[in-house]
Chain A
Amino acid sequence: MPATATAEEQAPPTHRESRSWGRAWEDIAEGVKQRELWGHLGWQDIKQRYRRSVIGPLWITLSMAITAAGLGLLYSQLFGSPIGTFLPYITVGFIVWNFILGCLTEGTDTFIRNEGLIKHLPAPLTVYALRMVWRLTLMFAHNMLVYFVVLAIFWSYLTTPGYQISPGGLQQPGLSWNVVLAIPAFAVLAFNGGWVAILFGIISTRYRDIPQVIISLTQLLFFMTPIVWTTDILTRVGPDGGGRWRVLVAELNPLYHYIEILRAPLLGNTQSWHHWAVVGAFTVLGWAVALLAMRNYRARISYWV
């Protein structure tokens, strides 16, 4: 076996260790570079889901419009809030929540659903994470059509300085050029989608109970997060001056901060910088853990799926 003999003569390489920061980083850099691949796959996913339906991906827009209109009408009556301010609030909350929900639930599925591709074609794992984030971004874009329609209908309500979402609530400054803050806010959200997909994807591939845990928690999280209700309720001080602790219900929920950085500029609400600070901290922490997981378990994924 002459060829085998030469292999034994050479020293095995040490710099190509599977578990190294270099390999993890290389995977991410290579994955990002294959923009055309994940771009194509993500768009393919959307087209695939609505193949042979007459209006195609517009179903995303339509179902969001129906949900927003229905819930907007219902909850504005339940809370006795003006529909002109409460319906846009619920609509935007829902659109942002849908993106976050997608990252959480589909993130657990990142590698499991791509089992076939992972086992048959060598490609950076990051490609599959980016495929998911891109797919959700496209869905977000479709949902934003609803936002623009709602904005057009309720323009006069939202642009009035000092409008209140619910009666007796915080006075909002009204829609202004601050709306451009929504762009970096979404970029930050999508960037966070990346670590969620990698980290949740890796853990879920190894432990198949995690997706179920996440799914059962998201339902609860939805009701715990101010989406169909406002923080005005929490800040309302009880007749005896108590109940201030209730603010913590929202403040301790990281998803509230994620939603708020994007929702506030889109609705012309008061923007508090502490939301950005919290989101920034979670971004750094999340990516750090995701990179660590990537370093240690990147090479194991093809064995686990």
Chain B
Amino acid sequence: MVSIDVWNASVDFPIFDAKSRSLKKAVLGKVGGKIGTEQKVPIIEALHDISISLKEGDKVGLVGHNGAGKSTLLRLLAGIYEPTRGSSRIVGKIAPVFDLGVGMDPEISGLENIMIRGLFLGMSRKQMEKRVDDIAEFTELGDYLQMPLRTYSTGMRVRLALGVVTSIDPEILLLDEGIGAVDAAFLNKARARLVDLVDRSGMLVFASHQDDLLFELCDTAIWMDEGQMKQRGSLREVLTAYKGKDPFAHLDQEALERLGEPPVLTSKSGEV
């Protein structure tokens, strides 16, 4: 059973500046009082009192301004940050796709990076070798996979990262905004795979500023503001509140039907 539960969790980052990060203050500071002890380290409260319970089949979009805590929340959900206060429990195989520049080695080939990512996500070498062809086909990178990663464009890196996470049958998929860098054709292909994946056995949390991507992948949403959950509800409700207007309003009829949304918000059709 796949689930993520977070109880009253806060994430506080200590900011060690050059002075307080060194031993100098901790050791020398002993002379003459409490200058430069732990309490003097400034703290950034990135997340404050978050309680979420996610279960199988949830497709959640994260919206909010820059610095609202979306990425930090994703890392909390991934178990990378354990809450400094409160607690969390994560059950399931996690596949995160965060900042695409990091976590990949630019000097080694795409194939090697596929292997390392796969191993990190709990695959064995044999299992990954079986999947490499599938990933190569899906990403359409072909011979480029032999090239060092530094020769890749951002979109190509996204393809690679998405290729890996969608091929390993993860249960919890956490995507940060970077994946918008791929072209429309590939995004369509990826969407089919992601939707299929979530339907089969999973959960998706997706932070994005692009409404169209959110429409395609998510049905509920969380609005993050200044490290707190400001609103949680259906994607349309939250986006309407966040943007101040119904983002579905200007979609054409065909798109609305595909997404299974009524032309106007709420059941009270006719009035918005």
Contact = CB atoms under 8 A, between A and B. Distances in A.
B23 A209 contact: yes
Given A34-B119, A37-B119, A13 B75 contact: no
Greatest chain B CB density within 10 A among A17, A40, A299 is at A40
Decide if the interface of chain B is mainly helix, strand, loop or mixed.
Answer: mixed
Given A44-B108, A48-B108, A13 B89 contact: yes
Contacts of B108: 44, 48
Contacts of B5: 7, 10
A302 B98 CA distance: 15
A129 to B, nearest CB: 16
A118 B79 CA distance: 11
Contacts of A16: 87-89
Contacts of A120: 80, 96, 98-99, 102-103
A51 B105 CA distance: 13
B186 to A, nearest CB: 22
B80 A302 contact: yes
Interface string A1-20: 10110111010110011100
B240 interface: no
Interface stretch (B6-14, B131-139, B189-197, B257-265): B6-14
B150 interface: no
B53 A7 contact: yes
Interface string B78-119: 111111101111000010101100110101100010011101
A40 B119 contact: yes
26 contacts: A1-B233, A3-B232, A4-B51, A7-B5, A12-B7, A12-B8, A12-B86, A16-B88, A18-B83, A36-B119, A37-B120, A44-B105, A48-B108, A51-B107, A117-B102, A117-B103, A119-B75, A120-B96, A120-B103, A121-B80, A122-B80, A207-B21, A209-B24, A302-B75, A303-B14, A303-B81
Given A3-B58, A17-B87, A119-B75, 11 more contacts: A1-B233, A12-B87, A16-B88, A41-B116, A44-B112, A44-B116, A48-B105, A119-B98, A119-B103, A123-B120, A303-B81
Top 9 nearest A-B pairs (CB, nearest first) are A120-B103, A7-B53, A116-B102, A12-B7, A299-B82, A37-B119, A18-B82, A122-B79, A121-B120
